[in-house]
Chain A
């Protein structure tokens, strides 16, 4: 048996009995138990982990771990995560009452994904891919309005792909209804701009090393 890790949490009681709590230094990792030979791409497992993730977030904010990280016990947890623990603790203590919300918007001028077959080397292809992704943009008018929608929180724009950008924001749990209401106002103000406001999410963008 192994545990597929969902996130890092401050307290054991934020996890149990929704998932297994695996000690990692002075934090706890939430784990979904799976058989050693179970493929992680299994659809039912993916949906089970997604449900557990949502239930855990209802309890308390946690640092999200990308799907696919599995361990067999506490010593492995510490070996793999030890270097991250001080930073995770600081994030969890600072943002305990906040969640992430994201506003994904289609780029005004989508950039075509480069064709791998047109490049002699993988490095040249990666550079072209990065350039096509980072060139995607939205109108300044919409981006300012979107930032106002997420008002009062830390915000960060990310290029998701050549066709869309995403604005992530840290929002107080009590402010979520207000942000959602402002999202409806944004839709009325920009009826022709395809965007999706979603959340709450655990600490994902703001838990990355760039954060």
Chain B
């Protein structure tokens, strides 16, 4: 879980980037993949961002 407002804001920003807006290319594939692949991808990315923000705060 996010630990502060900056982290929450970053996670929310990434969530909107990956999971909002008009889908142009490969719409059919993405809408099926959305079920598993996009969620999985988002989780992986969030984990990485989470790690980045933790590390940067420790410096």
Contacts and interface: CB of A to CB of B under 8 A. Distances in A.
A65 B17 contact: no
A207 B45 contact: no
Interface residues of B, number: 25
A17 interface: no
B24 A53 contact: no
B20 A204 contact: yes
B16 A46 contact: no
A177 interface: no
Contacts of A64: 16, 20-22
Interface in A163-211: 196, 198, 201-202, 204-205, 207-208
A43 B24 contact: no
Interface of A: 5, 7-8, 41, 43, 46-47, 49-50, 53-54, 63-69, 80-81, 84, 102, 116, 125-126, 129, 161, 196, 198, 201-202, 204-205, 207-208
Interface of B: 8-9, 12-14, 16-25, 30, 32, 35-36, 39, 41, 45, 48-49, 52
